[in-house]
Chains A and B, each alone.
Chain A
Amino acid sequence: MSELSWIIDRLQEVQNDEFFILRDKSYSYLDLVQNITTWQSELGRLGVVEGECVAIIGDYSPNVIFLLLALILNKNIIVPIGSESKEKQDEMFLVAKVNKYFEFNEDDTWNYYPVSGDSTHQLLDRLRIDNESGIIIFTSGTSGKSKAAVLCTSRLIERYRTAKRKPFRTMVFLKLDHIGGINTLFAIMFNGGTIVTSQERTPQSVCESIQKHKVQLLPTTPTFLNMLIMSKFYENYNLSSLEIITYGTEPMPQSTLSAMNSIFPTVTLKQTYGLTELGIFSTKSKDSHSKWMKVGGKGVEMKIIDKILWIRTSAAMLGYLNAPSPFVNDGWYNTGDQVEVDGEYIKILGRKSEIINVGGEKVYPTEVESVLLEIPNIKDVLVSGKNSPITGQIVVATVVLNELEETKDVRKRIIDYCKERLLPYKTPTLIIVSDKELVSERFKKMRSGVAI
């Protein structure tokens, strides 16, 4: 059984400090602690008991975080679901064995609903027997079916219990249904930092928030940094409060890193590394100009086999609820990331797989293909990735038609159809109409090497 009483002690140490800024309203750590207590009472009143799986549908807001903490302390298994994934909630509830859920509105008010259904699963029962809180995070899976990773909360936050770093006023960028978003929240909260949100994830909105709230730490992605560089909004705002910019979820182009160093010469640029299955690791970049980094921390072991990085860590997930365990018998996990090694430092070169990484979001070609095959006059389709200087990669669809049709019209029809069925980053950015009759078997063989 894990002891989580340190959480409240840690938050009380900084009770007068600012915890969260939302639309100019500020919440202190004292507000946080008091609201966690209020939420614990509310959970008792609603009959939410320990061990139950509870979904939270909503994005970053004070109440979402108060509830998340109350559920952790109540030893619940939490299923964070972003508002944009709401249409898939029934499927997610079924996989994650959700017993109850809270749905948050834009004004931070909420509604509560019980869910009926079977709640047993070997991995969830293990958490319950061990009296542990858990977090279930959905990660992209083949054929469009998301895999539900079960993480043990106390193992995820152990590194914050044992070590403290300087508190930063931090812009939150990744959402709470992403391992990076959860990790950012814990890193801010357990180090006494301040959460700052931006109304939109556009360069202008982010720059405005940095200036207004004197943000020191900006965790982001190379795609966002490309947009910031292109937009030149950094010239219109005072961003001198920035001390650290971290980047991850996709490979960083050297040209973007160089541009960032010349625009922000006094800011430390640091790469982050993590996976839903393993959590986020401590990293140390060689310097701001370098993509070489040390990855590790307490309880983390690494080895490299045939240039591929393998990791074993105590913070790893217990397994997937709806897929076989990816761990080999002794707990090692194949990250699939190709790396170069220089002494203690590694450089991530990317993954050799058919998964397409669009601005840090993973896309499985088969999911997109199955949607495109539903469209009239599409006889066959091949979806593949193509390098992009802006988003790392883009989704390319090569389609074969039953009957001749103007390419412009086909593109418009495909994009319109995908709007309702796929998230924007999964929608093909480039659609090529091929006049070659190709059987699907040959299509599959071509996937990794499609050229335009």
Chain B
Amino acid sequence: MVEVKNGIENAIKQILDQKSYKVPEIKDELRIIEDLGFSSLDIAQLIAYLEMELGIDPFSEGALISSINTVGSLCKVYQSCVDDNNIGGHGNE
């Protein structure tokens, strides 16, 4: 979970930094659109960064965008994808 959470925090910070927004403390309850002020392009960027950093794209594996309202829910979706891949034998042995 720590690796996923760090990856998500770093990606969010990088995007906020590019937009020259003040980077807040990244807490689970922060809402991605309302609190972080992310646009559709920012969220698309976040997902693309995470695919590069974590090597997974939960949305191509059936995760629903309706389940990623907050930072915490985003972490859950990615962690669940990591866990599924490990169970499926695709993870690090």
List chain A positions with a Cβ less than 8 A from chain B.
Answer: 202-204, 223-224, 226-227, 229-233, 255-256, 259, 358-359, 386-391, 394, 396, 408, 411-412, 415, 424-425, 429-430, 432, 452
Contacts and interface: CB of A to CB of B under 8 A. Distances in A.
B86 to A, nearest CB: 22
B75 to A, nearest CB: 15
Interface residues of B, number: 25
Interface of B: 14, 17-18, 31-34, 39-41, 43-45, 47-49, 51-52, 59-60, 64-66, 68-69
Contacts of B48: 386, 388, 394, 396, 429-430, 452
Contacts of B44: 388-391, 394, 429
29 contacts: A204-B34, A226-B65, A227-B40, A230-B65, A230-B66, A231-B69, A232-B66, A255-B65, A259-B64, A259-B66, A358-B41, A359-B40, A359-B41, A386-B48, A388-B44, A388-B47, A388-B48, A389-B44, A389-B59, A389-B60, A390-B65, A394-B44, A394-B48, A408-B14, A411-B14, A424-B39, A430-B49, A430-B52, A452-B51
A136 B31 CA distance: 42
Nearest to B57: A389
Nearest to A415: B18
B66 A390 contact: no
B14 A390 contact: no
A260 B43 CA distance: 19
Contacts, number: 79
B66 A223 contact: no
Contacts of B34: 204, 231, 233
Given A230-B32, A255-B64, A391 B41 contact: yes
A226 B47 CA distance: 14
A386 B41 CA distance: 13
B41 A425 contact: yes
Contacts of B65: 226, 229-230, 255-256, 259, 389-390
Given A226-B65, A429-B45, A452-B52, A391 B59 contact: no
Contacts of B51: 452
B33 A227 contact: yes
Contacts of A259: 64-66
A409 to B, nearest CB: 12
Contacts of B60: 387, 389
Closest A-B pairs by Cβ, 8 of them: A389-B59, A388-B44, A231-B33, A390-B44, A430-B48, A429-B45, A391-B44, A229-B66
Contacts of A391: 40-41, 44
Contact of B18 (A255, A256, A412): A412
Contacts of A358: 41
Contacts of B32: 230
A233 B45 CA distance: 22
Contacts of A386: 48
A252 B4 CA distance: 29
Contacts of A229: 65-66
Contacts of B31: 231
Contact of A226 (B17, B40, B45, B52): B40
B47 A390 contact: yes
A71 B66 CA distance: 45
A408 B18 CA distance: 10
Contacts of A424: 39, 41
Contacts of A389: 44, 47, 59-60, 65
